[in-house]
Structure 1
Amino acid sequence: MFRDRFWLSLVLTLPVIAYADMIQMWLGYTAPAFPGASLIAPVLGTAIFAYGGWPFLVGAVAEIRDRAPGMMLLIGMAISVAYVASLAASIGLFEVEVWWELSLLIVIMLLGHWMEMRAIGQAQGALAALAELLPDEAERVLPDGTVTTVRISDLSVGDVVLVRPGGRVPADGTIVDGSADLDESMLTGESTPVTRGEGERVVAASVSTDSSLRVRVDAVGDDTALAGIQRLVAEAQESKSRTQLLADRAAALLFYVAVAVAAVTVLAWVLLGDPDAALVRSVTVLIIACPHALGLAIPLVTSISTAKSARNGILVKDRLALERMRDVDAVLFDKTGTLTEGQHAVTGVAAVDGDEDGLVALAAAVESDSEHPLARAIVADAAQRGVTVPAAGTFRAMTGRGVEATIDGRQVSVGGPALLRESGVRIPEELGERVAAWQSRGSAVLYVLSGEGMLGALALEDQVRAESRAAVAALHRLGITVAMVTGDATQVAEAVAADLGIDEVFAEVLPEDKDSVVADLQRRGHIVAMVGDGVNDAPALARADVGIAIGAGTDVAIESAGIVLASDDPRAVVAARTLSAASYRKMIQNLWWAAGYNLAAIPLAAGALAWAGFVLPMAVGAVLMSLSTVVVALNAQLLRRVDLRPGRAAVG
């Protein structure tokens, strides 16, 4: 609405400004004369007032009805007084017409509100991103065993659905046939796929990585876990939308001041016996109260800071989030995909014969045909080491245990504790201490076995980002408490926290509890910034005072956050704080200048110095009002000189 009205009002305003006597005098030109040229300002000015000013007039009425004066009422009062005064001047009933000021005021206000309203619709975007995690269709297994494709909306509790390898579970349910490793990271934050078998529950949107499943549907629609997360996101974003803007508070103050001074002005000049001056002076007061500069004080700074942050990899979606960032005293990081890479890597190798490269090559040969995330990590490690991976044949996946293949005539298998128990092989004494250390950290340990027994073991962990340690240290230097929340096991979380020097750890946390963790920190008096990238982070991102999403994360996390980091570098959180402080400083300076000008000019317009022979003319007041807008605009431009790189370098 504001965008469309801005562009049309701008087009109509250009002729009004071009034919304004004052503008022609300033710029030293004479506009072409033609019959009816004198009607350009009244006709176009009326159209601008009716069309461009309509949202502000409606908003003013709403604020009057709610008894909560703010920017809309101040703008509505100002443009109404300016319109009536200009119309009266055009027909010879008043002293000065301010058509061009009226038109320019409306255009500037439309531009400011357009900037402010671009963030509207975040909740719809977040909920849409959540819904997209679910497949559109499901394969329903009929009583006779045949499979038919149906829409998700047609599923009912009790239906049995087939989930193929690589497919998403369409609804919450219980496995009735089969077992598979399920990737639930989008919902639980658990970085390692979880093995689920018959009788165990699965949640909608989780992915079967390696095998087919038959799932009996237990919950559909609004009863699913995913729908619960949707509700949390919607509620959190709704609660945040009630935040009041600082400019509105300034506008409310200015409204009361302007109305009070105008009333006193009328009374004073009438008592002095000059009713004509009472009318002129009071109208001048109300027109000078037009919040030209005030309307741009915050939106212009926000626009510049948003553009500047984008060039530094910080995307500001919610202007209030950037303003609040300067007050944050606790940063809550999600672990997986934020402080860590979100992908497993081989972190330890122990070979019975001491040949670690040979063990990795052998394991990579067995895992080369597997699509399991841990298998891909082993193959990637072999490539990084530059070892030659031998050819493998007769590959076979052993669900829940591991994989096996034939290499150079001998059978080699790779798997976890279940494979070890089934084979009856014991961990050699020389490997026991290292394996125990890996397990105490929560590492995923895979064993390489052959006919002669155990050949060795590999430890795999979700890799900590190289920049995470520096980011945590920089936040500590700023006096900020750093916490971490994750769905991973306690020992995994504590190992990462110890590496990074994190103050507080929340481990084995369910999606709804992540939201509760933020609420708990807030109840303790903290102003919380939440940094995450997964669907399970969305409610916490929305509930936090500032939600910061890693740009490589899911769409819903990005939609739920106020700030999005385009890269995976958590050090950008420090840069965001630097920008927040600089932006807020400019906002306050602009507000003081904008409101300060009005508060200083209003008494002069009322005739406070008339006893000394000075009365601020309406035209001069209008000019000064425009100059105050220029000052605010120039001051906002100084924000471009703030260098965010030292903040990044300081933590690098």
Structure 2
Amino acid sequence: MQIDNRSNELLKKVFPVEGMSCASCAVSVESMLNNTPGVVKAEVNFAANSVAVEYNAHLISPEVLKKSVQSIGYDLFIEDNAKEEQAELQHLKYQQLKKNTIWAGILTLPVVVIGMFFMHWPPGNWIMMVLTGIILFVFGNQFFINAFKQAKHGSANMDTLVALSSGIAFIFSAINTFFPHLMHRPGQHTPIYFESAAVVVTFILLGRLLEERSKSKTSSAIKKLMGLQAKTVTIDDNGTERVVDIENVHPNQIIIVKPGEKIAVDGTVITGTSYVNESSITGESVPVSKNQGDKVFAGTINQQGSFKFKAEKIGKETLLGQIIKHVEDTMGSKAPVQKLVDKISGIFVPIVLLIAITSFTAWMVLGTDDQWYHAITALVAVLAIACPCALGLATPTALMVGVGKGAENGILVKDAESLEIARKVNAVVLDKTGTITQGTPTVTDFIWLEKDFEKYAPLILGIEQRSEHPLGQSIVSYLKSQEIISTEPTDFENISGKGLKAKFDNKVILVGNRALLQAFNAPLSEDIAHQAHQLQQQTKTVSFIAVDQELIAIIAIADKIKAGSKEAINELQSAGIEVYMLTGDTFETAQAVAQQTGITHIIAGLLPTDKAAFVKQLQKEGKVVAMSGDGINDSPALAQADLSIAMGKGSDIAMDVAKMTLTSSDLRQIPKALRLSSFTVKTIRQNLFWAFIYNLIGIPLAAGLFYPIFGWQLNPMFAGAAMALSSVSVVTNSLRLQRKKI
């Protein structure tokens, strides 16, 4: 019996959503998708106007998802150019919203002036009715259209509240305008709410305008990253230069990069040399030298030279493409606190409707005077002030700004939860090779014992270029950095386990370890032996160079400590965070690294599973553990850790497992990530405070709860202003994160 594994094939995609106007809309879309057969999980990000959907590709298609969302009055963009289409549509909607807000404001001004200062002017009510009707049903018609769509599906959202509050106020006022004696009482002015209805709609339009403008700023990190992508590229088509669109580039094509141009895709240099500004990817401002065999990345900028490289990764597969995808996925994911907020938002509108009706009924039944006036005031004010928008924006706006801030600083946040967890970390576990150290052997000491070394250096370069040993490549890199031009030897021989032997001008040249010297009877003095021993105690590999049995140089090679590792470790330890170094190397090697970096906890000789077990043990001790590594062997420990941090120059698997990636592979980014987490969570809490405080104070005040005691009842006009202000307060507070120095 064969099992069709395709039935378990899951895809996760982020789709732009059109038509959401509040947090309740987001809950409706999310609920509909989560109840669609074939969908494993759907999470809506109201601030980003998107939904991340994980679904079974063999049970459901994007077209079905689109129809499902359309059935409740919204729309889903599933096309390849969805983001561009959404961006264009949002721009047009923003311009229309701006136009509606301006005109609504212009018409509201005379309505307020007449309602406040000329209430006894005979034609005043008629003028206010006409102007308010235009404001509500022309410039504010979106509220009524959306409310009607929701009602057709038996649901309600913020537009329902706005439509009911302004609509009831208008209808009540229109009845009193046509039949002024119906509710008139001697000595009192007939209650008219045209100005309240007009102000509520205008303020909400203004709030949404500011909200849309601010939301576009919070996602500016994505736009900046996308702006790094080149639009066209010059390819070498069998010796002929041809400019093509980036979409037409294929792997293995030869790309020509000229001075000042953006590099379009990831690849390897085959000819030419230059310096490339990689600050957009690594955060490092110093241009990096690029020669034959070096990697280049999309989104980086070539400096003065020109070169050709072979395309290897294109489109979404490039490092820049992966960064964009990770940032988008994070902005589409939810922090745990947001899931609680969504539940509150989902039941918020029905509760508000119940409070509004209860307030109206209570005033009509229990009121002693002016029941209609107080009842209508309470109904309209409660509906106007009770906006769940601020509640829905509180977490995602702070998260989006935090993620963007991280991306600008070389910290790629993969999911929202990691930004909440990072601030709680009290133990950091670091892999040694490639994390604390550079991960590649480098010449640390090249000691010439022969004064006239210029004549030998080109020859040593020529010999080592033939070597296949990794240490040989480090010697080649060192000599090339000294601008040495190689000389080709003769009779080259690779002596396994010992080193290299070659001839030049009938002289025998040896490059290798002490065993090679002994095999050819090359003497080693006590002074040189002592010097070599001191280098070996620093965990350096020592090689010797001899010409005709006479020693002429000592070479020491080691995996260097990364710039910034010691500083980062000291900063973490100073903050009271325990730092552990795990390695598969010997204890002596680990101890040497620890002495150079100041780490007090070292565990050596570990297998990959041992690293994961150690992380688990720390967690059992009650510690919140962050693990940072770069290799496939670190993946189990990264998966086990509470917060996993991968090096950007490490393996793809490590980055897939990790919740954060340091694009520059600089450990100094870890303290920054922890501070970013603290700032982001603090901002979320502040936002939730502002979102709740307006409703906690405003709803009882609007309902008239304090009227019998203090004579306070909130005017619907001010209720609308407070509602708009709550959303603006939340978004503005989130944008303050952009100015934080981490």
Which category describes the TM-score, using the shorter chain as reference length? 0.5 to 0.7
Residue 248 of structure 1 corresponds to which residue in structure 2? 340
Specify which of 616, 623, 627 is matched with residue 530 of structure 1: 627
Provide the rounded CA distance (Å) in 2 between the counterparts of 1:264 and 1:92. Answer: 18
1:17 correspondence with 2:101: yes
User: In structure 2, the residue corresponding to 1:245 is in which secondary structure?
Assistant: helix
Closer/same/farther in 2, CA of residues 402 and 527 from structure 1, 3 Å limit: same
Residue 367 of structure 1 corresponds to which residue in structure 2? 464
**Conservation of the 8 A alpha-carbon contact between 1:270 and 1:278:** yes
| Structure 1 length-normalised TM | 0.63
Specify which of 633, 640, 644 is matched with residue 731 of structure 2: 633
Tell me which moved more, 449-458 or 527-536.
449-458
**Conservation of the 8 A alpha-carbon contact between 2:204 and 2:720:** no
User: Which letter maps to 2:101?
Assistant: I
Specify which of 571, 579, 590 is matched with residue 474 of structure 1: 571
**Conservation of the 8 A alpha-carbon contact between 1:341 and 1:464:** yes
Specify which of 558, 566, 573 is matched with residue 461 of structure 1: 558
Residue 506 of structure 1 corresponds to which residue in structure 2? 603
Pairing 1:555-594 to 2, within 5 Å after superposition: 555-594=652-691
**Conservation of the 8 A alpha-carbon contact between 1:48 and 1:103:** no
**Conservation of the 8 A alpha-carbon contact between 1:119 and 1:318:** no
User: In structure 2, the residue corresponding to 1:326 is in which secondary structure?
Assistant: helix
**Conservation of the 8 A alpha-carbon contact between 1:254 and 1:289:** no
Q: Displacement of 1:327 after TM fit?
A: 2.5
Residue 327 of structure 1 corresponds to which residue in structure 2? 424
User: Which letter maps to 2:723?
Assistant: M
Q: After superposition, what is the alpha-carbon deviation per residue over 1:60-107, rounded to whole angstroms, capped at 9, x for unaligned?
A: 98xxxxxxxxxxxxxx65444434555656766997655567777888
**Conservation of the 8 A alpha-carbon contact between 2:341 and 2:392:** no
User: In structure 1, the residue corresponding to 2:644 is in which secondary structure?
Assistant: strand
Specify which of 444, 458, 470 is matched with residue 347 of structure 1: 444
Q: Displacement of 1:364 after TM fit?
A: 3.6
Q: Displacement of 1:473 after TM fit?
A: 1.4
| Structure 2 length-normalised TM | 0.56
Closer/same/farther in 2, CA of residues 39 and 635 from structure 1, 3 Å limit: closer
Q: After superposition, what is the alpha-carbon deviation per residue over 1:17-59, rounded to whole angstroms, capped at 9, x for unaligned?
A: 35546874299999999x99864357533554578x89xx99x
**Conservation of the 8 A alpha-carbon contact between 1:17 and 1:23:** no
Q: After superposition, what is the alpha-carbon deviation per residue over 1:142-194, rounded to whole angstroms, capped at 9, x for unaligned?
A: xxxxxxxxxxxxxxxxxxxxxxxxxxxxxxxxxxxxxxxxxxxxxxxxxxxxx
Provide the rounded CA distance (Å) in 1 between the counterparts of 2:159 and 2:518. Answer: 81
Q: After superposition, what is the alpha-carbon deviation per residue over 1:379-412, rounded to whole angstroms, capped at 9, x for unaligned?
A: 2333556778654223344555543322332333
Pairing 1:374-523 to 2, within 5 Å after superposition: 374-383=471-480, 391-398=488-495, 401-415=498-512, 429-448=526-545, 452=549, 457-523=554-620
Closer/same/farther in 2, CA of residues 85 and 387 from structure 1, 3 Å limit: closer
Residue 718 of structure 2 corresponds to which residue in structure 1? 620
Q: Displacement of 1:599 after TM fit?
A: 1.0
Closer/same/farther in 2, CA of residues 358 and 568 from structure 1, 3 Å limit: farther
Provide the rounded CA distance (Å) in 2 between the counterparts of 1:391 and 1:27. Answer: 93
Which segments of 5 or more consecutive residues in structure 1 lack a partner in the other structure?
62-75, 121-236, 645-652
Q: Displacement of 1:621 after TM fit?
A: 0.8
User: In structure 2, the residue corresponding to 1:290 is in which secondary structure?
Assistant: coil
Closer/same/farther in 2, CA of residues 393 and 265 from structure 1, 3 Å limit: farther
Specify which of 282, 286, 290 is matched with residue 387 of structure 2: 290
Q: Displacement of 1:10 after TM fit?
A: 4.5
Q: Displacement of 1:583 after TM fit?
A: 3.3
Closer/same/farther in 2, CA of residues 367 and 84 from structure 1, 3 Å limit: same
**Conservation of the 8 A alpha-carbon contact between 2:412 and 2:662:** yes
Provide the rounded CA distance (Å) in 1 between the counterparts of 2:647 and 2:554. Answer: 34
User: In structure 2, the residue corresponding to 1:570 is in which secondary structure?
Assistant: coil
User: In structure 2, the residue corresponding to 1:600 is in which secondary structure?
Assistant: helix
**Conservation of the 8 A alpha-carbon contact between 1:330 and 1:529:** yes
Q: Displacement of 1:492 after TM fit?
A: 2.2
Provide the rounded CA distance (Å) in 2 between the counterparts of 1:37 and 1:622. Answer: 15
User: In structure 1, the residue corresponding to 2:473 is in which secondary structure?
Assistant: helix
Q: After superposition, what is the alpha-carbon deviation per residue over 1:436-476, rounded to whole angstroms, capped at 9, x for unaligned?
A: 45445543343446663876653311111232112211222
- The total of aligned residue pairs comes to 511
Closer/same/farther in 2, CA of residues 394 and 84 from structure 1, 3 Å limit: farther
Residue 272 of structure 1 corresponds to which residue in structure 2? 366
Provide the rounded CA distance (Å) in 1 between the counterparts of 2:529 and 2:646. Answer: 41
CA-atom RMSD, angstroms? 5.1
Residue 604 of structure 1 corresponds to which residue in structure 2? 701
Closer/same/farther in 2, CA of residues 533 and 28 from structure 1, 3 Å limit: farther
Provide the rounded CA distance (Å) in 2 between the counterparts of 1:286 and 1:634. Answer: 24
Provide the rounded CA distance (Å) in 1 between the counterparts of 2:487 and 2:592. Answer: 35
User: In structure 2, the residue corresponding to 1:583 is in which secondary structure?
Assistant: helix
Provide the rounded CA distance (Å) in 2 between the counterparts of 1:559 and 1:28. Answer: 58
User: In structure 2, the residue corresponding to 1:547 is in which secondary structure?
Assistant: strand
**Conservation of the 8 A alpha-carbon contact between 1:292 and 1:626:** no
Closer/same/farther in 2, CA of residues 275 and 536 from structure 1, 3 Å limit: farther
Query: Share of identical aligned residues, percent?
Result: 31
Tell me which moved more, 385-394 or 498-507.
385-394
Provide the rounded CA distance (Å) in 2 between the counterparts of 1:50 and 1:419. Answer: 88
User: In structure 1, the residue corresponding to 2:336 is in which secondary structure?
Assistant: coil
Provide the rounded CA distance (Å) in 2 between the counterparts of 1:14 and 1:638. Answer: 24
Closer/same/farther in 2, CA of residues 87 and 366 from structure 1, 3 Å limit: same
Q: Displacement of 1:329 after TM fit?
A: 1.7
Q: Displacement of 1:344 after TM fit?
A: 1.3
Which fold has the larger relative contact order, with Cα–Cα distance below 8 Å and residues 6 or more apart in sequence?
Answer: 1
Residue 547 of structure 1 corresponds to which residue in structure 2? 644
User: Which letter maps to 1:625?
Assistant: M
Provide the rounded CA distance (Å) in 2 between the counterparts of 1:247 and 1:112. Answer: 22
Residue 268 of structure 2 corresponds to which residue in structure 1? none
Provide the rounded CA distance (Å) in 1 between the counterparts of 2:519 and 2:212. Answer: 72
Q: Displacement of 1:607 after TM fit?
A: 0.8
Residue 299 of structure 1 corresponds to which residue in structure 2? 396
Q: After superposition, what is the alpha-carbon deviation per residue over 1:241-291, rounded to whole angstroms, capped at 9, x for unaligned?
A: 785125734973995785885586467446515589567635643552312
Provide the rounded CA distance (Å) in 2 between the counterparts of 1:352 and 1:104. Answer: 79
Provide the rounded CA distance (Å) in 1 between the counterparts of 2:216 and 2:658. Answer: 20
Closer/same/farther in 2, CA of residues 588 and 80 from structure 1, 3 Å limit: same
**Conservation of the 8 A alpha-carbon contact between 1:533 and 1:552:** yes
Provide the rounded CA distance (Å) in 1 between the counterparts of 2:205 and 2:528. Answer: 81
Closer/same/farther in 2, CA of residues 25 and 566 from structure 1, 3 Å limit: farther
Closer/same/farther in 2, CA of residues 344 and 384 from structure 1, 3 Å limit: same
**Conservation of the 8 A alpha-carbon contact between 1:444 and 1:459:** yes
Closer/same/farther in 2, CA of residues 633 and 351 from structure 1, 3 Å limit: closer
**Conservation of the 8 A alpha-carbon contact between 1:413 and 1:449:** yes
Closer/same/farther in 2, CA of residues 9 and 92 from structure 1, 3 Å limit: farther
1:643 correspondence with 2:741: yes
Provide the rounded CA distance (Å) in 1 between the counterparts of 2:218 and 2:416. Answer: 8
User: Which letter maps to 2:564?
Assistant: E
User: In structure 1, the residue corresponding to 2:424 is in which secondary structure?
Assistant: coil
